[in-house]
Structure 1
Amino acid sequence: MASVLDLGATPLGEKFLTIDELDLPEPTFPLHLRLCENCLLLQLPALIAPEDIFSGYNRFSSYSDSVVRTAKNFVVDAVQRLGLDSESFVVEVGSNDGYLLQHVVNTGIPCLGIEPSANVRATARDRGVPTASAFLDERLARELRAEHGAADLVVANNVYAHIPDLLDFTQALRGLVKDEGWVTIEVHHALKLVVQGQFDTIYHERFQYYTLLSAKRALATAGLAVVDVESLPAHGGSIRIWARPARMSAPPSEAVVDLLRAERAAGLHRVDGYLQLRSRTESLRHSLLRFLLQCRADGKSVVGYGAPSKGNTLLNYCGIRSDLLQYIVDRNPYKHGRFTPGTRIPIRDPGLLANDRPDVVLALPWNLKSELTDQLSYIADWGGELVFPLPALHHATSLSRNNIGLAVL
């Protein structure tokens, strides 16, 4: 295994602290990205059991308007592309709060979610989305297939990177799908991670970071062949992979060939191409710290917007505390009154922004730039700046509802 990027030891990105926990020890774990020199899969060591990460999980996908909108568009496209109807069956692995399957339910197509986190699973069931309570493995796949039948479509959006036992999970995906069915997987694209220095996408609940090449090799271990791929803007740059059992697959599409060629051109079909990530990460860290320190020297008030896992990687790696970021607001009420892991920055209701009128709002989920620029356009009323830390430090220069521009700082 080759070392690619060592971000030090950090706490779990979704373990937000209550006020009673601030004086208690906080476990940290190495956040050290490595590369398999044989299969070229970027990965973190599986130091933490999934039960420790996803029990009491507090990420509700439906709090992001763009995520829900993208999920609805996906369902509409998949139904048309695959000819799904009331006789079909759709399974989503890692179905969260039903943000996607609610649209399948609305079409009248039978479906089932698989979600291990009790709190988000309860929300899905309240929406009328049938949801099994478990982590997917080969045994569960056999049980679900025996009970419900095989699926025409298995969806695994932003879950394939969260699996400690990748081989077992991939076999389970194959076990869920019909011989003539489809598996679609969305993952953050490691090409974007490396080329743009998206270090904050590295956190403990993600064990793998895929190029199309490494995903293709992983799926092949269970007899699943990549047929097509789409590039998506989600998470700063993702790919949606369409695969099916190898004996039913057609030759890969032109999009697959083109993307593999782009990865090769970026150096990601060899080990040394990944080593550029370290210098880019260090440069981004230095730029952000210089900006925040200058804001403090100028007497400007700075608060954060959004408290995702990626934001906590950024805060911990950069050593940002409440002296540089007074507090963070988040739309998820579960996080209100809690504190960020490691950095102990308080999290509050977004309504506080209009009352306090901060000079600068630092958007930690920078990948939602368009959505947040629209949501936070009102801070222009008092001359506030909206700043995004990645892929390069930049801010909205004309922050208004009708005129939005960006400038590099």
Structure 2
Amino acid sequence: MKNNINFLDLGLQPLANNYLKKNQLNRKEKKYRLKIGINIGTKLVSINQPISSKLMFNNKYPYRSSMSKTMLKSFQNLAVLINKKFKPKKILEIGSNDGSFIKNFSKKKVIGIEPCSNVEKITKKKGFNTYPLYWNLKTAKKLLIKEGKVDLIYSANTISHIENLDEVFRSIDIILNDNGILIIEDPSLLECLKKNTYDQFYNEHIYVFSLIGLENVLKKHNFEIFHIQTLEIHGGSNRYFIKKRINKKKISSSVKDQKKKEMKYGINKISTYRKFAKRVKLSKKKLKKIFLKIILNDNKIIGYGVTAKSTTILNYCKIGNDLVSYFIDTTKAKQNKYTPGTKIPIFKYPGFIEKDIDFVFLGAWNFKKEIFKKEKNFIKRGGKFIIHTPTPKIL
């Protein structure tokens, strides 16, 4: 991207959610160079080579937000807050996936936008008003004619997937009432740097937002952040509450507090990112060493929760089916396939970790609490989890 100073190179990576069928194992996979940089003007951190949306978000998209109890609970709690605090008559969700958020509202109240038609159909079949479209000016203008303006727009882990942020916010401005509220949540750049979670970077995560970077984009479109909630979800996320400048709603101290934290950490300094890159290289060496030591001692390692994040780790650290026997996962669309790039088989989650397993690599580390609760018998019998954040270790 223009005006970017690159600070991290995660090597050649496949498309993170492009799980392979058996008959595709010998075919050449599409790969791209995953370099990450910071824009010297806006302070936005982004990947250097965005991939076409149509290649990433299509009718075979495997991610389902309903597969996580943590996500479902978070959406329920937010829905209660929205109804209590903002009382919107009409809500639009950008990136509605399988309807895990909008199902918390009356069907008359909500509109969903989801470009992956296979998951959009799930919500439509349940009677919700959804459109299989990408979020852009054309979509916003179409909705304005068909649905009219909305009081609240919500988007979780989607805005950071869209390259043209100026078009994103111009489109939102068109359809959001002047006194309306925009709520977006995405992984926190500050937490990513602090916890060394370099796997937040993959082809779909074009950006990882800081408050400072996001504010610089929003002010061009006369939007401002008036409140921030910090969340544990996805290893540390920010939920931004945003309004149009003409809306006189007061700006809470949470915004000032978050900015202070980011400035103190050095979010606006290139030296911060160069130090991060050094820690990432060290993390790679440590993680590979852990895997090799376990295998040399004739122990078996499996993976738990094959995620887009784990694609980055496995390919960057060159951890393949020689080190990980297989992954288990609850998502049907991933089962009986193979991990992108590293070609590790993925099997159906049997409801527990089998007795012949001693070590489990936690691909879905961001749902660690939920997983540990589910796998208490594995932990009781002495089973160990391998995790890469904040530093690679055996738990």
TM-score above 0.5: yes
Partner of 1:173: 172
Cα separation, 1, equivalents of 2:351 and 2:92 = 40
- What is the identity, as a one-letter code, of the residue corresponding to 1:28? K
How far does the alpha carbon of each residue in 1:209-236 deviate from its partner, in whole angstroms, 9 at most, with x for none? 1100111111222221111111111111
Cα separation, 2, equivalents of 1:280 and 1:303 = 25
Contact 2:34 2:49 in 1 (8 A): no
Partner of 1:54: 57
Partner of 2:215: 216
How far does the alpha carbon of each residue in 1:241-286 deviate from its partner, in whole angstroms, 9 at most, with x for none? 0011111143421000010010000011233222221011112212
Partner of 2:42: 39
Contact 2:304 2:327 in 1 (8 A): yes
Cα drift, residue 373 of structure 1: 0.5
Cα separation, 1, equivalents of 2:245 and 2:49 = 29
**Tell me, which stretches of 5 or more residues in structure 1 are unaligned?**
397-409
Partner of 2:103: 102
Q: Could you say what the CA RMSD is over the residues aligned between the two structures, in angstroms?
A: 1.5
Work out whether 1:81 is the aligned partner of 2:85: yes
Contact 1:90 1:109 in 2 (8 A): no
Q: 1:138 to 1:192 in 2, by over 3 A?
A: same
Cα drift, residue 299 of structure 1: 1.1
Identify the structure with bigger relative contact order (alpha carbons < 8 Å, sequence gap 6+).
2
Contact 1:5 1:32 in 2 (8 A): yes
Cα separation, 2, equivalents of 1:195 and 1:249 = 34
How far does the alpha carbon of each residue in 1:55-76 deviate from its partner, in whole angstroms, 9 at most, with x for none? 1211011011101110111111
- What is the identity, as a one-letter code, of the residue corresponding to 1:276? K
Partner of 1:118: 117
Partner of 1:5: 8
- What is the identity, as a one-letter code, of the residue corresponding to 2:377? Y
Matched residue of 2:19: which SS? Answer: coil
Contact 2:50 2:206 in 1 (8 A): no
**Tell me, which stretches of 5 or more residues in structure 2 are unaligned?**
none
Partner of 1:385: 384
Cα separation, 1, equivalents of 2:190 and 2:379 = 35
Cα separation, 1, equivalents of 2:229 and 2:160 = 17
Partner of 1:194: 193
How far does the alpha carbon of each residue in 1:24-77 deviate from its partner, in whole angstroms, 9 at most, with x for none? 111101100011111111011344110110012110110111011101111111
How far does the alpha carbon of each residue in 1:276-333 deviate from its partner, in whole angstroms, 9 at most, with x for none? 2101111221221111111011111110000110000000000001111110000001
Cα drift, residue 20 of structure 1: 0.3
Cα separation, 1, equivalents of 2:331 and 2:9 = 30
Cα drift, residue 356 of structure 1: 5.3
Contact 1:40 1:271 in 2 (8 A): no
Of 63, 75, 84, the residue aligned with 1:71 is 75
How far does the alpha carbon of each residue in 1:369-403 deviate from its partner, in whole angstroms, 9 at most, with x for none? 1011111222135432123221223444xxxxxxx
Cα separation, 2, equivalents of 1:357 and 1:218 = 52
Cα separation, 2, equivalents of 1:33 and 1:359 = 35
Cα drift, residue 173 of structure 1: 1.4
- What is the identity, as a one-letter code, of the residue corresponding to 1:24? R
Work out whether 1:17 is the aligned partner of 2:20: yes
Contact 1:182 1:242 in 2 (8 A): yes
Contact 1:187 1:210 in 2 (8 A): yes
214-223 or 381-390, which moves further after superposition? 381-390
Matched residue of 1:324: which SS? Answer: coil
Cα separation, 2, equivalents of 1:61 and 1:352 = 19
Contact 1:357 1:384 in 2 (8 A): no
Cα separation, 1, equivalents of 2:67 and 2:394 = 23
Between the aligned residues of both structures, percent identity stands at 25
Contact 1:17 1:339 in 2 (8 A): yes
Contact 1:68 1:100 in 2 (8 A): yes
Contact 2:200 2:208 in 1 (8 A): no
> What are the within-5 Å matches in structure 2 for residues 295-306 of structure 1?
295-306=294-305
Matched residue of 2:105: which SS? Answer: helix
- What is the identity, as a one-letter code, of the residue corresponding to 1:38? G
> What are the within-5 Å matches in structure 2 for residues 124-273 of structure 1?
124-273=123-272
Partner of 2:360: 361
Matched residue of 2:302: which SS? Answer: strand
Matched residue of 2:333: which SS? Answer: helix
Cα separation, 1, equivalents of 2:258 and 2:307 = 29
- What is the identity, as a one-letter code, of the residue corresponding to 2:84? Q
Cα separation, 1, equivalents of 2:317 and 2:80 = 41
Cα separation, 1, equivalents of 2:354 and 2:155 = 41
Contact 1:200 1:311 in 2 (8 A): yes
Cα separation, 2, equivalents of 1:279 and 1:232 = 27
Cα separation, 2, equivalents of 1:133 and 1:110 = 18
- What is the identity, as a one-letter code, of the residue corresponding to 1:77? L
What is the TM-score of this pair, normalised by structure 1?
A: 0.92
Cα drift, residue 4 of structure 1: 1.5
What is the TM-score of this pair, normalised by structure 2?
A: 0.96
Partner of 1:399: none
- What is the identity, as a one-letter code, of the residue corresponding to 2:319? I
* Length, aligned pairs only: 391
Contact 1:196 1:280 in 2 (8 A): no
